[in-house]
Structure 1
Amino acid sequence: MKMKEPKSFKDICELQKELDSHIVNVRERTGRDIVKSMIAEIIEFDEETKDSHKTWKTKEYNSQKELEELTDVYFFFAQLVNNEKYLEEWKLEELFNKKETEIFKPDSLTMIMYATGVVRSLYSVFSALVDLTLEYGYTKEDILKTYWKKWQYNMSERIGKEWN
């Protein structure tokens, strides 16, 4: 099947299904595994931001690397959505089209970590993820473009080589 550049979150989920179908896991991958992967990517994203928890490090800021790490969070969120089969039920596409963060909301990174670890409400997690994306100045289009680029790299360079 020929895959095409994503135009929506639903497209990202379809691409993620295709990518996941080529990955050979040594054991069954559970929702818990996916949530742990997502948390790891959130931490990697934080380490690329100007607001990194690593206050002792002096590292040159790279917005492209920051965007790539943020997009990695979307890879695992899409995997979680596919695993839980909630895409339509939670109307996540409407959230993905959001243009502004809500006012008087707790820090989105904190909200993602809380929602992922405690609540596991996909709607809450995705709402916070979209807010985080917007807070850092990125758009839906940035995520779609970066996801596509990294997806192609994963399919051609990592499957069967770095992975498996």
Structure 2
Amino acid sequence: MKEPKSFKDICELQKELDSHIVNVRERTGRDIIKSMIAEIIEFDEETKNSHKTWKTKEYNRQKELEELTDVYFFFAQLVNNEKYLEEWKLEELFNKKETEIFKPDSLTMIMYATGVVRSLYSVFSALVDLTLEYGYTKEDILKTYWKKWQKNMERIGREWN
């Protein structure tokens, strides 16, 4: 496998990773959505504006990027599970350079879209906006995804089934 250059490449890498993981039961779209929500919360906990207002924690931009990239892992898994990549033109969204004007907070939008609407397009649009709002680029996500993907492949059989 090679380093990803597009969201489609991320989906292919995710498919490869998932094919090596042995699940103890069938993994459903609902499982993937729950995993994605958990990662969104982990991402929020690494931001300067974490919901944990009672805690002080040193901000680590690299850790924030890694947690954001974890959301992309599960979104790619969801896309592969639903087979929507081409239909929703998600690659066009991934290439966005700036957020849309007059949108509510993207983190809130992801939570809403994931839990209620379940429209992959809406979820991905909010995810890309969130990425841009926090000052990350498509290239940041691609590079971090590749590093984490390689680490995850090594975890199979040791830490994971």
TM-score, structure 2 normalization: 0.99
**1:5-55 per-position Cα deviation (integer Å, ceiling 9, x unaligned):** 000000000000000000000000000000000000000000000010001
Q: How many residues align?
A: 161
- Identical columns (%): 97
Q: Superposition RMSD on alpha carbons, in Å?
A: 0.4
**1:115-145 per-position Cα deviation (integer Å, ceiling 9, x unaligned):** 0000000000000000000000000000000
In structure 1, distance between residues paired with 2:19 and 2:53: 39
In structure 2, distance between residues paired with 1:51 and 1:12: 28
In structure 2, distance between residues paired with 1:14 and 1:143: 15
User: Which sections of structure 1, spanning at least 5 residues, go unmatched?
Assistant: none
Which residue number corresponds to residue 81 of structure 2? 83
Offset, 1:112: 0.2
Which residue number corresponds to residue 91 of structure 2? 93
**1:92-132 per-position Cα deviation (integer Å, ceiling 9, x unaligned):** 00000000001110000000000000000000000000000
In structure 1, distance between residues paired with 2:44 and 2:160: 24
Offset, 1:89: 0.2
SS at match of 1:105: coil
Which stretches of structure 1, 4 residues or more, deviate above 2 A after TM superposition? none
Which residue number corresponds to residue 56 of structure 1? 54
In structure 2, distance between residues paired with 1:111 and 1:59: 25
